[in-house]
Chain A
Amino acid sequence: MPNMQRRYRTVTELKVRESAKTIAFSDPALAGKLTAMGVLPGTCIEMVRTAPFGAAYYIKADGVRMALREEEAASILIEV
């Protein structure tokens, strides 16, 4: 295979103030919760900051402020 570059990354890889569009979810149970809260494929996720003791992220999903845990953020696949 010629181009092995990944076509997605996860929210945990976003730098502060960086944003990207959601593509899909990697965990069905977490996807259930996240989609119900309005994080959908196509939603624009902005990284605001990481939690004081780590392992959680302050994000904006289409401008809505949310706190996500490491696993939750890692289950959201976003555009490169």
Chain B
Amino acid sequence: MSKREGQTFHVALVGNPNSGKSTLFNQLTGLRQKTGNFPGVTVDMKEGKLRFEGGREAILTDYPGTYSLYPTASDEKMVAAVLTNPADANFPNAVVYVADVKNLEKHLLLLTQLLDLDLPVILALNMADMAAEMGIKTNTAKLSEQLGIPVVLLSSRTGDNVSKLVAELEKLLLSPTVSRKPFYPFTDLEKQVAEAVQLNLDANNPYRALLLAHHHGWLPFLKRNDRETLATIVENKSFQSLRSQVDETLDRFDRFTPIVQDTIDQPPAFPETITDRIDALLTNRWAGPFLFFLVMLLVFQAVFDWSEYPMGWIESGFGSLSDWLKVIMPKGWFTDLLTDGILAGLAGIMVFIPQIALLFLIITILEEVGYMARVVFMFDKSMRRFGMNGRSVVALISGSACAVPAIMSSRTIGNWQERLITVMVTPFISCSARIPVYLVLIGLAVPPVRVAGFINAQTLVFGSMYALGLVAALLSGWAMKKWLRTREISYLAIELPEYRMPHWKNVGLTVWEKVSAFVVGAGKIILYVSIGLWALSRFGPGEDMAQAVVRAETEAKSQQLDQGAANDLVAQRQLEASYAGQMGKWIEPVIRPLGYDWKIGIALLTSFAAREVFTGTLAVLYNMGSAEGDINDSAENESKATLRAKMRSETFSDTGKPVYTLGTALSLLVFYALAMQCMSTMAVVARETGSWKWAIYQFVFMSGLAYLGAWLVYQIFG
């Protein structure tokens, strides 16, 4: 197990959920971390650099929290998949096992399994500070002797003894010792199975052989013939995996419980704590759900209020940069590409960061404090009715920021069907990118009057768009549940951790991670799309574009327009003649029943890659490109008002009737609320579900529903 000189050490950080593992990871690596991807399993792993005193380095990987090597969720499966495969590039040279010293009797199962895999392990007894307060005394020397591994009592929150852990870890890496007798003696049947596996497959360790037999159905690294061999062994020996798992687990507990009792001196009673008093209110039958909705309302209010300012700065900043570049750079396609393609795309990504960061900040705090586990508990029943799981609530709330990180957070859901439904319906939740579209259309169609004396009608419609998304998500979930009907077992069983102050470093790093997921996952595609769109609207078939420019210039001269207005007219005529314009005209018959003309068609087409380009496209189409991106806030509002005025005066070219009636605007709102218009989300769905099949189903279903809904609304109000 020793590595040659020059090779990098890999260290795995493993432990139960709520063991404070991630806090320790952040303590050990600080900002020297990134999200890596494990081959064969679609789970991102956090990796960080660990520096030892003498300058030696190791790669530390934070594994998902799990109770056992018999996993029930896809993130937990990953732990077993890597640790049973010595050929894996990430297979660790040593494991740091993190356990909560306050609950050690419940935290050692997985450790004993790792010991039986002959992995060099060091035990980090975490939460020493809280244990000391509770009067828990630990004899680490004795524990170390009984388990046969180094043990360090530390606190990942205060940082106490973390350096000692690092020193012990380096010693272990340099001289890994694993000579000890197995913790769990197999039953006769298990011995036979393990021996048979070792005869046929390359497995030098009996427990690894046994785990291969247990997990032969899903372990991703197994070759087809190995899988078949294992299946035959399991069948021939009539090996009952589930029963064997439970018996093994109980036997392990029987063996390590005396060790814990022998080395840890714990006050016998479980005193009522502040957590019990808080939960009496927060999980109360009546007050609990009410307080949850109140919290959510405040969260959204805060996110909208606070993010408005930074969003304004980012918009105006990019606007001025783009204007400045247009002035100092020579006129031509390259400048256009830079300003209207690349910079516009970058601005389209950056402008969402404040909102996404704020929302994830609050979600992460709620999670760190321990509240999210309570939400999972309270809404499990309601979510199951719609084919999901209590854990889906977290994904759905996150979906109101950005579906990309939200879908990735569904990995904690063990049941494949519930996870799939969560992934499929999350994009119905109105995300940040839909907000600008809502704002323009609502401002256009809904008068700012007070309904029932106090609610602004515009606020009401804005809120209804969110409600529409939520209802569509839940009803689709319900329909999918009726349609799929699998028998796979589903779990709630979740620990409700003690309430505690958030660890701010954890919060910061998690928000950073989620925002990066948006920037890298969604941002890259938005940028490409923006450049592609620029090309489609900058170039046209044959001589059309050149002729359009000439005609527009003559027209501008005859109308004696000033320079700005003339430029806007040229831009408008160019867009109309471009490939994008041609495509808009081409799809007009399809969207006419929804009340849209070909200009909206262009905006719709461009939105299918990323919906937030809707307003930008319309601004150009309505001949007001130069009014956009002004420096101060009032000009920004003015430009929105100008856009609205232009939209109001639009008429259909054949009938002469106004385009933007209440019916059209409402129909567009419904379309944007329901349609799948985000390539980044499709890419993530394809990745998380393992095939493009579900992404395509989702696209067809959401867009079909959007078309139907928009048509219905136009028929009623149009």
Contacts and interface: CB of A to CB of B under 8 A. Distances in A.
Contacts of A64: 103, 106, 495
B454 interface: no
A49 B246 contact: no
Nearest to B270: A63
B317 interface: no
A80 interface: no
Nearest to B67: A36
Contact of B493 (A34, A50, A63, A65): A34
Interface in A24-51: 25, 28-38, 40-41, 48-51
A67 B489 contact: no
A49 B283 contact: yes
B493 A67 contact: yes
Interface string A52-80: 11111010101111111100100000000
B283 A35 contact: no
A29 to B, nearest CB: 5
Contacts of B377: 51, 56, 58, 67
B497 A65 contact: yes
A37 B72 CA distance: 12
A37 B288 contact: no
Interface stretch (B22-30, B147-155, B188-196, B378-386): B378-386
B253 interface: yes
B329 interface: no
Interface residues of A, number: 34
B373 interface: yes
* Interface residue SS majority, chain A: mixed
A67 B492 contact: yes
Contacts of B496: 58, 65-67
* Interface residue SS majority, chain B: helix
Contacts of B276: 48
Given A62-B105, A67-B496, A52 B378 contact: yes
Contact of B250 (A35, A58, A67, A72): A35
B249 A36 contact: yes
B221 to A, nearest CB: 23
Interface string B285-312: 1101100000000000000000000000
Interface in B249-285: 249-250, 253, 270, 275-276, 279, 283-285
Contact of B378 (A29, A31, A53): A53
Contacts of A38: 67, 103, 105-106, 109, 253
Contacts of A48: 276, 279
Contact of A66 (B70, B245, B495): B495
B249 A32 contact: yes
B380 A67 contact: yes
A32 B70 contact: yes
A40 B284 CA distance: 28
A68 B491 CA distance: 8
Nearest to B110: A36
A50 B497 CA distance: 17
A35 B252 CA distance: 11
Of A28, A36, A54, most buried by chain B (CB within 10 Å of CB) is: A36
Of A25, A28, A50, A67, most buried by chain B (CB within 10 Å of CB) is: A67
Contacts of A30: 489, 491, 493
A63 B102 CA distance: 11
Interface string B92-121: 000000000001011001000000000000
B495 A36 contact: no
Contacts of B253: 35, 38, 40
Contacts of A28: 242-243, 246
Contact of A54 (B103, B246, B381, B495): B381
Contact of A60 (B106, B270, B497): B270
Interface in B125-151: none
Given A49-B285, A64-B103, A32 B245 contact: yes
Given A36-B109, A67-B496, A72 B491 contact: yes
Return the 10 tightest CB-CB contacts between A and B, nearest first. A63-B270, A38-B106, A67-B377, A69-B492, A36-B68, A65-B496, A36-B67, A28-B242, A55-B381, A53-B381
Given A38-B109, A67-B376, A67-B380, 20 more contacts: A30-B491, A30-B493, A33-B491, A36-B67, A36-B249, A37-B495, A38-B67, A38-B103, A49-B284, A49-B285, A51-B377, A52-B284, A53-B378, A55-B381, A56-B381, A63-B270, A66-B493, A66-B494, A67-B373, A72-B493
27 contacts: A28-B243, A28-B246, A29-B242, A29-B489, A33-B493, A35-B246, A35-B253, A38-B67, A38-B105, A51-B285, A51-B377, A51-B380, A52-B285, A53-B378, A53-B379, A56-B390, A58-B377, A58-B496, A60-B270, A64-B495, A65-B497, A66-B493, A66-B496, A67-B377, A67-B493, A67-B494, A69-B380
